Amino acid sequence: MVERRSSFPLNKTLLICLALIAFAAPSVCAADDWKYEETRRDAREFVTGGTIHVRMTVGDLHIKRGDSSQIRLEYTVKSRHESSVKKTTVEFDVHGKDAAIEFHSPSGGNTNLDVELEVPENSNLDVHEKVGDLTVENIEGDKDLSLGVGDIRIATGHSGYRFVHASAGIGDVNGDGYGETSGWLGKTLKYHGDGKYELRAHVGVGDINLEGK
């Protein structure tokens, strides 16, 4: 009788890896061949305790605590085509306690973004990105973070959270003082604390690192 149990995980892993290569290859191939780039800046007044929604396709996003009530945005557009740089735009709108930042770039893997975002110390974050690395530092508030391919790093004290749920479809979840992870191909971490905020983070392929005492 043929043993079947070992073949399924191998086939499943192979299919996932092939899908990852097809999805991420355009971004990786373009990374060493940027010919044009342009840096832009914007800032808007905001409120403490509001929610900031960010939508982004490809690039690196770094969100950190600012020293004012403003949302300050600085981003660099990189591309192999000058026209793609010009066609890349951002919608930045603030309505009361909600701010929305959405990046639009030509498709085809020819454009990449490097984004620095400063927000008020107490801000809720709702971030969804397809490919890139996402870093969040020293921000108090609820966080709902999702990333298709890349790594998520969150540096903030875990004493501020009452609930944490972090998961990776393929990859690791590393928690500093958040408890043990579970899972095989992908990892999951759940944590219950005495704080008042919630953290939900998911990456399809990549790692999640939770830092802070």
Residues 194-207 pLDDT 10s? 889 999 999 999 99
Rounded to a whole number of angstroms, the CA Rg of the chain reads 19
Q: Give the pLDDT confidence score for residue 184 in this predicted structure.
A: 80
**Coil, strand or helix: which one is 69?**
coil
Give residue 187's Cα distance to chain centre: 17
What's the pLDDT at 211? 87
Mean residue pLDDT across the chain: 85
pLDDT band at 132 (very low <50, low <70, confident <90, very high): very high
Which residues is 149 bridged to in the sheet? 131, 205
Question: pLDDT exceeding 70 applies to what percent of the chain?
Answer: 83
Q: Which residue has the tokens 């809720």?
A: 124
**What is the distance between the alpha carbons of residues 71 and 56, in angstroms, rounded to a whole number?**
17
Contact present, 104 and 58 (Cβ < 8 Å): no
**pLDDT value of residue 88:** 95
Could you tell me the end-to-end alpha-carbon distance of the chain, in angstroms, rounded to an integer?
A: 53
Question: How much is the pLDDT for 160?
Answer: 86
The residue behind tokens 């930042």 is 101
Best CA proximity match to 113, nearest among 154, 77, 158, 157: 77
Taking 90 as the threshold, does the pLDDT of residue 17 lie above it? no
Assess whether pLDDT exceeds 80 at residue 61: yes
Q: Which of 21-35, 40-54, 114-128 has the lowest mean pLDDT?
A: 21-35
Predicted TM-score (pTM) of the model is: 0.84
Structural contact between residues 136 and 156, judged by C-beta atoms closer than 8 angstroms: yes
Residue that wins the pLDDT comparison between 7 and 142: 142
